[in-house]
Structure 1
Amino acid sequence: MTRSPESSRLFQPTRLGPLTLPNRLVMAPLTRNRAGADGVPSELMTAHYAQRAAAGLIIAEATTPNAVGQTYPNIPGLYTEAQVAGWRRVTDAVRAAGGRMFVQLQHGGRVGHPDNSGLVPVAPSPIPLPETIHTPTGRQPSVTPREMTVDDIRAHVADFAAAARNAVAAGFEGVEVHAANGHLLHQFLATNTNHRADAYGSTVAGRVRFVVEVVEAVADAVGQDRVGLRISPRNTVNGIAESDTDTLYPALVDALAGLDLGYLHVVRTDAADPLLRDLRGRWAGVLMTNPDLGPDGGLPADGGRAAGERLLAAGADVIALGRAFIANPDLVERLRRGAPLNPLRQGPLMYVGGATGYNDYPVLAAA
């Protein structure tokens, strides 16, 4: 007998931290460059997230905890009163539409530029990004980051905790600490970007230390169950190369085991990945996964549903989808009905521009 779309575990409620989610489909954090130059969320963002409030959980896009952490132009922050007020408008709109939101806290580290932040980027070691970087005047050569001192590290731990408190003040139910995709925390984890000889480098225990300290500080600031951690084992984006992935991530997960966090978010994986099975065995809490849907730029006809269901069968608890939510504000209803999905429109409108390519994707009735 063919199972109806509605019978999938994707549409069953579940617990995540302090929340009961009405379904297991999470809108993944998606950088779209629609904030103001001052990092204040725009009215476009308010409309965008409210349109997608039917997701079990929305994780808002990468948001910087301090000025030097800015990656690209028009990235939101959570370190000024105006930014907190801007995010409050977003969370109020999503809550009014029946939704729930976490926000991702991301520091770019060496993925930054003085033309974007006004500051020289910082990183675990003075190793530049091996590619150009987008700025308001076009792509520019990357700059060599300043190696963080131990005092810098302590200050950044405090900045992450302060941003988490600001997130709760802005109406978010929790925060996701971003230790993935080649940004600052991932730079501490990876051997090709962390050449430190002190307590924050050299060994696996040293390289995971900064991530652990950030997560602990954020958990102390807002509560353990309001915190998720995002990792992306084997991801080579932004020039990252890990030489000991299968040792590194089990050590990181073990170091966090006693914290009772809201969730662990593993990016771009599949049900057959032995490392995912290892991490599932070590992680007693909620496991969120992003299915590996192939190179960026395409969207499977089912939006990633089949891959997500395989991951649920392999032990995941909730499934995060990105591209499918970009193109389909009513993704949950479309997948529930087995209805066709909107195609994803590629090109500069993904990251630059106004409502076009951002808030103008039709819902089922309009389509």
Structure 2
Amino acid sequence: MTSLFDPIRIGAINAPNRIIMAPLTRGRATREHVPTPIMAEYYAQRASAGLIVSEATGISPQGLGWPYAPGIWSEEQVEAWKPVTQAVHEASGRIITQIWHMGRAVHSSVTGEQPVSSSVGKAPGEVHTYEGKKPYEEARALRLDEIPGLLDTYERAARNAMAAGFDGVQIHAANGYLIDEFLRNGVNHRTDAYGGSPENRIRLLREVTERVIATIGADRTSVRLSPNGETQGVDDSDPAAVFLPAAQMLSDLGIASLGLREPGPNGTFGATTVPKLSPRIREVFKGVLILNSDYTPELAQEALDSGVADAISFGRPFISNPDLPDRIRRHLPLAPDDMKTWYSQGTEGYLDYPRAS
């Protein structure tokens, strides 16, 4: 049987174990979205993960609306990321960055412009801003003549990621953000080549992935999807009809890994009764399949045993357990985290969680 502690090759990356650190927004960059020195220590503390997927990182000012989240579109940001990747590598770790366009889930007070999406509409609820939470704003539909420029920003982000020392990138196509807003018909009401049929709705994901592959190689390119249930008001009437062809397309392109965030009916952040698609995606995706959402070490091992997953990514447990793989190996209790410090600035709740004795 495959163990969580068995090594695995993820494209160009040799991971020493199958415990992946999931992307976790922490809000420790500057207001100008530049990484800060404390981020180097934070990620280095967690370098024993088989692979670190960085917090979601903006590809452009238009697409980054989360306060104090980092970007990777400018030279200043690239230079500020270099100490982070260097610290991880010096700690014998591996790290890729998750490149992110938030689509309609931004606010003009952060980005300076109206949100864009696949179609006109707005997300339910409220959005984080520098002045606190505000209602989401109505997004405009991305024009056809804007898509080539959007692809350019993904290419630039991928090239910058490699210049900053990352081992690869993960394209964020999940959780109700821009690419997900194109994938799912609950939001995508377009009548052009990017709307209507599943093939058309997959088109933007395919073009982004092809552009990133052309820039850094398929063996350093990964994708994250959230194929079951509603996220931030984004849903689909028939998830299998779009996500199975999407997974097949990504498999054909030969990407290094596919990550799936699949909450269950008792999900702590997003609960749904929509069945998980991972067993069916496993049949069509031949690369490394990484599952995520509310996994315990025991459930993670069961997923490996069943063959539905090759690795498991853990999110919140890595916040308060920087040495999570060692704790799992030694069957030690996991330390609880403090939600009040998830997105706060400074070192409290960020650098001060101890390793197990």
1:351 matched to 2:340: no
Q: 2:193 aligns with which of 195, 199, 204?
A: 199
Report matched runs for 1:307-326 at 5 Å.
Answer: 307-315=299-307, 316-326=309-319
CA–CA separation in structure 1 for the residues paired with 2:323 and 2:3? 18
1:298 paired residue number: none
Match for 1:203: what amino acid?
S
Q: 1:186 aligns with which of 180, 186, 197?
A: 180
CA–CA separation in structure 2 for the residues paired with 1:147 and 1:160? 19
Native 8 Å contact 2:228 2:276 kept in 1:
no
Q: Give CA-to-partner distance per residue, 1:161-206, whole Å, 9 cap, x none.
A: 1100100000001000011000000000111211100000011111
CA–CA separation in structure 2 for the residues paired with 1:253 and 1:209? 13
What RMSD in Å do the two structures reach over aligned CA positions?
1.5
1:213 matched to 2:215: no
Secondary structure of the corresponding residue to residue 262 of structure 2? strand
CA–CA separation in structure 1 for the residues paired with 2:128 and 2:250? 34
Deviation at 1:291, TM superposition (A): 4.0
Q: Give CA-to-partner distance per residue, 1:83-119, whole Å, 9 cap, x none.
A: 1011111000110111000100111000001111112
Secondary structure of the corresponding residue to residue 239 of structure 1? coil
Which structure 2 residue ranges, 5 or more long, are not aligned? 265-273
2:246 paired residue number: 252
Native 8 Å contact 1:85 1:170 kept in 2:
yes
Residues matched between the structures, number:
347
Secondary structure of the corresponding residue to residue 10 of structure 1? coil
TM-score when normalising by structure 2: 0.94
Deviation at 1:8, TM superposition (A): 6.8
1:125 paired residue number: 119
**Structure 1: which 4+ aligned runs deviate by more than 4 Å?**
none
Match for 1:55: what amino acid?
A
Which structure 1 residue ranges, 5 or more long, are not aligned? 1-6, 294-303
1:150 paired residue number: 144
**Which segment drifts farther, 152-161 or 54-63?**
152-161
CA–CA separation in structure 1 for the residues paired with 2:179 and 2:167? 23
Native 8 Å contact 1:291 1:311 kept in 2:
no
Q: Give CA-to-partner distance per residue, 1:205-259, whole Å, 9 cap, x none.
A: 1111101110110011100010111001123221112111011111111222321
Q: Give CA-to-partner distance per residue, 1:48-87, whole Å, 9 cap, x none.
A: 1010011110000000111100121111111000110111
1:300 paired residue number: none
Secondary structure of the corresponding residue to residue 319 of structure 2? helix
Native 8 Å contact 2:53 2:98 kept in 1:
yes
Deviation at 1:358, TM superposition (A): 1.1
Native 8 Å contact 1:291 1:321 kept in 2:
yes
Native 8 Å contact 2:260 2:290 kept in 1:
yes
TM-score when normalising by structure 1: 0.92
Identity between Structure 1 and Structure 2 (%): 40
Native 8 Å contact 2:159 2:216 kept in 1:
yes
CA–CA separation in structure 1 for the residues paired with 2:110 and 2:276? 39
Native 8 Å contact 1:65 1:105 kept in 2:
yes
1:280 paired residue number: 282
CA–CA separation in structure 1 for the residues paired with 2:184 and 2:116? 15
CA–CA separation in structure 1 for the residues paired with 2:140 and 2:224? 25
